[in-house]
Amino acid sequence: MTLETTSWPSSYGEAAKPRMGFFTDTSVCIGCKACEVACKEWNQVPDSMQGFTGNSYDNTIDLGADTWRHVAFIEQRVPAGVLDGASLVEAVQRGEAVDGGVQTYQEGDGFRWLMASDVCKHCTHAACLEVCPTGALFRTEFGTVVVQEDVCNGCGYCVPACPFGVLDKREDDGRVWKCTLCYDRLKDDMEPACAKACPTNSIQFGELSELRERAEHRLAHLQGAGQQHAQLYLADDDDGVGGAGAFFLLLDKPEVYGLPPDPVDTRRDLGTIWAATGAAALALGAGLAAAVWGGER
Amino acid sequence: MTETRSYYGQPVIKQPTWKWEVPMYFFTGGVAGASAGLAYLSGLAGNDVLARRAWITAAGAIGVSPPLLISDLGRPARFLNMLRMFKVTSPMSVGSWILSASGTATAVAAVNELTGVLPRASKVARPAAALSGLPLSTYTAALIANTAVPVWHEGRRWLPFVFGSGAALSAGAVAVAVTPVECARPARRLALAAAAVEVASKEVMQRRIGEAGEPYEQGAAGRFGNLSRACIIAGATLLARRGGSSRPLAVVAGGLLCAGALSARMSILKAGYQSAADPKYVVGPQRAAIRRGDRTGSSRRESKLHVIEPAFGSPATAPVQHDALGGQPMAGR
C-alpha cells in the first residue's frame, strides 16, 4: 500500500490515524522565518545563536538539536520565470513572474533569491528509527517519527544514520532532539506551529495523500508557466527512503538547498553488512584455530 | 567529475557525536573478543600458560569496555536502556547483547582460571566466551557501516574484515607481550598473520571504494593511517625477527602492534567524520549515480497530472478540482 511504513498503520490497528505530513512549497516562501520562531516558541527549543554567517539572510545555518526548522537562502543570477532571456524587471512588467506563480524574487536585474524552510522529513523508511538501540525513536499513529525524551540515552547512533543530517545531540542535555511534527498539537487536532505561522502557505500541513495531490497540481502549474527546474522532492514511494512525510517543491537541484539528491535508508544494505560481519567473524575463528594448531613454525 | 554544488559548502549529513571512548572501545572489544577465542583454543590445545594469560587479558579488556561506552553516552545513567529491546536493524542493539553475553561468560571463565571456583559454570562459559568473542570483534564494523557516512557505508563489505583482523592483531600482540616466549608461539603466529591481513584489507577497502575513500588519505585520518602502518610494520618485523628469543623485545613489538591497531581504528573513525563533513563525498556520488542513470534520485520534474490548470499566484488560492491521483477531490485551504 502506498504511504505505508514499517510500523504504521499496521501496529496501531484501529488507533491508526491518517498519515500526516508537510508539503513545503518553496516557490512561495518569503524567508520570514516565522516557522523557525513558532517552532522554537511552541516546542520550547533552546536558543541557537551561532553568530553572523554572511550566508545571505541565513544565520540559523542548519537543522540540529536546537533548530527544527531552518530557512535556507540562496542567491543566484538567474532570470526568473523568463523564457526569452528578458530581464526580471521586464518580466515583472509583462506579468510573467506573477503568472508563473513565483514570488520569491527580489526586484532587480535577473537576481533570483531562493528560500526554503527545511525540516525533519519523517521518512517512510527512517534510518534513525531503525538504528535506535533503545526504541526512543518511534513511529506515531500519524506515521511520523518522534524521539521519546524520557527514553533516549544519548548514544548518538541516529546522528550519522540520518541521510539528511537532521538529528543532533544537545550538548548540555546529552539527548538527541528533532522535529516531532508537533505530536502534542496533532493529538489535539491542531496543525503544527510552523504551518500555522506560515503567512504564505509555503508550509502546508495535512494528510499526506492529499498533500501529494495538491503538490502535483502545483508542479504542473509551475512547469506550465516555464519553471523548468521546478521539481518535487521526496514525493514518490520508490526513492531511497520510500518517500517522506515532509516533502518539498524546489526550484533548483536539492543539493543547492543543502539536501541530498539521492538519500538512501542504510537499512537497505543491512543484509550485506550482516553477511560480511558474519563472514569476518567466521574467518577470525578460523584464523585463531590456525594460529593455535598451525604446526611447529 | 563536475564540481559538486552545495549550500555554502556546508555538510549535508551530521558528523557522529562519538568521542575518544568509541574508537578505544573498538580496540578493547577486539582485544577481548579475539583473546577469549585464543584462550579457549589454547586451552584445548594444552597450552595452559597462554590460555591463562589470554583469559586474563580478555577479562581485563572486556571489563573496561562498558565503562568506556557508558561514559560516551549523553545520559550515562540510562545505560540500561540499551537492553530495553533487541533490534537486528540496530547493530548497536545487537552489540549490546553480544557484549553483555560475552562479558558475563568471559568473567566466569577468567574467575575460574584465577581461583578455580565455578568449575561447572566455566565449562559452559569458556566456549560461550570464545564463540561470542567472534561477533564481538566484528559487529562494530557493522555499526559504523550501517550509517549514511559515505566512507563507512561504501566500505561495508570490507570493514568487518578490517575490524576482525585488527582484533586478532591486538589480541595476539597483547598475548606475546604478557606470555613467556616459549609458550607464545601461537600468539606470534596470530599477530603476524593478522598484521598482514589488517594492513592489506584496509588498503584493498580504500582502493575499492574509489573517491569515497579519499578521506583516508586526508588530515587526521591520513596521519593516523600512516602511524598505524608504520607501527604495524615495525612491530611485525621486530616480532618476526626477535620475538621468539627475547621477551623484552617481544613486549616492545606487542606494544607497537597494539599502537598500530588502535591507530587504525582512529584512522577509520576520523575518516568517517571527515567524509561526513564534506558535501563533496555525500552529494558527489549520489549525483554521479543519477547522471549515470543507475539511480533516479529523490526529485521529479514531471507532474503526474495530465490536465494542467491555468496558473494561479499561490496554492493558497488555487482550487483543486481534478481527481488525478485516485484520492478524493479536496477543497482549497
Mind listing the pLDDT tens digit for each residue in B255-305? 999 999 999 999 999 999 999 999 999 999 999 999 999 999 999 999 998
Q: How confident is the model at residue A76 (pLDDT cuts 50, 70, 90)?
A: confident
Contacts of A241 in chain B (CB under 8 A): 298
pLDDT given for residue A246 in this prediction: 98
Nearest beta carbon to residue B42 from set A103, A200, A292:
A292
pLDDT at A142 over 90: yes
Report chain A's C-alpha Rg in angstroms.
23
Q: Which range has the worst mean pLDDT, A220-229, B136-145, B193-202?
A: A220-229
Predicted confidence (pLDDT) per residue in B165-198, tens digit: 999 999 999 999 999 999 999 999 999 999 999 9
pLDDT at A121 over 80: yes
pLDDT given for residue B19 in this prediction: 97
pLDDT given for residue B138 in this prediction: 98
Tell me what the mean pLDDT of segment A67-80 comes to: 84
Smallest CA–CA distance from A65 into chain B, residue:
B14
Chain A 270-289, residues with CB within 8 Å of chain B CB atoms: 270, 272-274, 276-285, 287-289
And the C-alpha cell for A145? 517519527
Instruction: Give the whole-angstrom CA distance, residue A140 versus residue A49.
Output: 31
Give the residue, A127 or A296, on which the prediction is more confident.
A127
Q: How confident is the model at residue A227 (pLDDT cuts 50, 70, 90)?
A: confident
Predicted confidence (pLDDT) per residue in B139-171, tens digit: 999 999 999 999 999 999 999 999 999 999 999
Cβ contact B1:B288 at 8 Å: yes
Chain B 84-143, residues with CB within 8 Å of chain A CB atoms: 84-85, 87-93, 96, 134-135, 137-139, 141-143
Give the residue, A92 or B250, on which the prediction is more confident.
B250
Question: Measured between CA atoms, how close is A184 to chain B, in angstroms?
Answer: 23
**Residues with Cβ within 8 Å of residue B135, at least 6 apart in sequence:** A277, A278, A281, B33, B98
Using alpha carbons, list the distances in angstroms from residue B57 to A283, A286, B60, B182, B279: 21, 20, 5, 18, 42
Smallest CA–CA distance from A136 into chain B, residue:
B81
Q: Where are the alpha helices (DSSP H) in A207-266?
A: 208-224
Cα dihedral B173, B179, B180, B186 sign: negative
Contacts of A30 in chain B (CB under 8 A): none
Nearest beta carbon to residue A160 from set B45, B147, B311:
B147
Nearest beta carbon to residue A165 from set B12, B138, B303:
B12
Q: Do A163 and B297 touch (CB under 8 A)?
A: no
ipTM above threshold 0.85: yes
pLDDT at B249 over 60: yes
And the C-alpha cell for A79? 532570470
- What percentage of chain A carries pLDDT values higher than 70? 87
Question: Measured between CA atoms, how close is A53 to chain B, in angstroms?
Answer: 10
- The helix (H) or strand (E) run that includes residue A45 is none
Contacts of A223 in chain B (CB under 8 A): 301-303, 308
Contacts of A290 in chain B (CB under 8 A): 189, 193
pLDDT given for residue B317 in this prediction: 42
pTM of the full structure: 0.91
Q: Which range has the worst mean pLDDT, A31-40, A47-56, A234-243, B192-201?
A: A47-56
pLDDT at B310 over 60: no
Q: Do A214 and B330 touch (CB under 8 A)?
A: yes
pLDDT at B9 over 80: yes
Instruction: Give the whole-angstrom CA distance, residue B215 versus residue B206.
Output: 9
Q: How confident is the model at residue A296 (pLDDT cuts 50, 70, 90)?
A: low
Nearest beta carbon to residue B286 from set A217, A260, A273:
A260
- The helix (H) or strand (E) run that includes residue B292 is helix B279-292
Q: Is B179 left (phi over 0), alpha (psi -120 to 50) or beta?
A: beta
Using alpha carbons, list the distances in angstroms from residue B49 to A112, B110, B181: 76, 13, 11
Question: Measured between CA atoms, how close is B300 to chain A, in angstroms?
Answer: 5
Chain A 213-272, residues with CB within 8 Å of chain B CB atoms: 213-214, 216-225, 228-236, 238-241, 250, 253-264, 266-267, 269-270, 272
- The helix (H) or strand (E) run that includes residue A54 is none
Backbone angles phi, psi at A23, to 5 degrees: -110, 110
Give which of B1, B2, B5, B14 to mutate to test A binding, by max A Cβ within 10 Å: B14
Chain B 26-65, residues with CB within 8 Å of chain A CB atoms: 33-34, 37-38, 41-42, 44-45, 47
Q: Do B189 and A291 touch (CB under 8 A)?
A: yes
Which residue do the cell numbers 560481519 mark?
A277
Predicted confidence (pLDDT) per residue in A50-60, tens digit: 789 999 999 99
pLDDT given for residue B4 in this prediction: 78
Nearest beta carbon to residue A284 from set B138, B159, B320:
B138
pLDDT given for residue B59 in this prediction: 98
Smallest CA–CA distance from B70 into chain A, residue:
A155
Question: Measured between CA atoms, how close is A274 to chain B, in angstroms?
Answer: 7
Please give the span between the terminal C-alpha atoms of chain B, in angstroms, as a whole number: 45
Chain A 116-145, residues with CB within 8 Å of chain B CB atoms: 127, 130-136
pLDDT given for residue A96 in this prediction: 58
Using alpha carbons, list the distances in angstroms from residue B138 to A174, B134, B190, B225, B228: 28, 7, 17, 20, 19
Smallest CA–CA distance from B309 into chain A, residue:
A221
Instruction: Give the whole-angstrom CA distance, residue A181 versus residue A146.
Output: 8
Give which of A123, A212, A273 to mutate to test B binding, by max B Cβ within 10 Å: A273
B126, with CB counted inside 10 A (0-12, 13-18, 19+), is buried
Smallest CA–CA distance from B93 into chain A, residue:
A133
Using alpha carbons, list the distances in angstroms from residue A102 to A29, A214, A230, B320: 9, 17, 10, 18
Mean pLDDT over each residue of chain A, to the nearest integer: 90
Q: Do A103 and B298 touch (CB under 8 A)?
A: no
Chain B 6-25, residues with CB within 8 Å of chain A CB atoms: 6-8, 10-18
Predicted confidence (pLDDT) per residue in B34-81, tens digit: 999 999 999 999 999 999 999 999 999 999 999 999 999 999 999 999
Taking each helix axis as running N to C, give the angle between helix B159-178 and helix B247-277, from 0 to 180 degrees, rounded to the nearest 10: 150
Smallest CA–CA distance from B38 into chain A, residue:
A288
Cα dihedral B217, B220, B226, B231 sign: negative
Q: Do B300 and A221 touch (CB under 8 A)?
A: no
Instruction: Give the whole-angstrom CA distance, residue B49 versus residue B184.
Output: 9
Tell me what the mean pLDDT of segment B320-326 comes to: 42
Predicted confidence (pLDDT) per residue in B88-117, tens digit: 999 999 999 999 999 999 999 999 999 999
Question: Measured between CA atoms, how close is B20 to chain A, in angstroms?
Answer: 14
Nearest beta carbon to residue B90 from set A130, A200, A279:
A130
Smallest CA–CA distance from A126 into chain B, residue:
B89
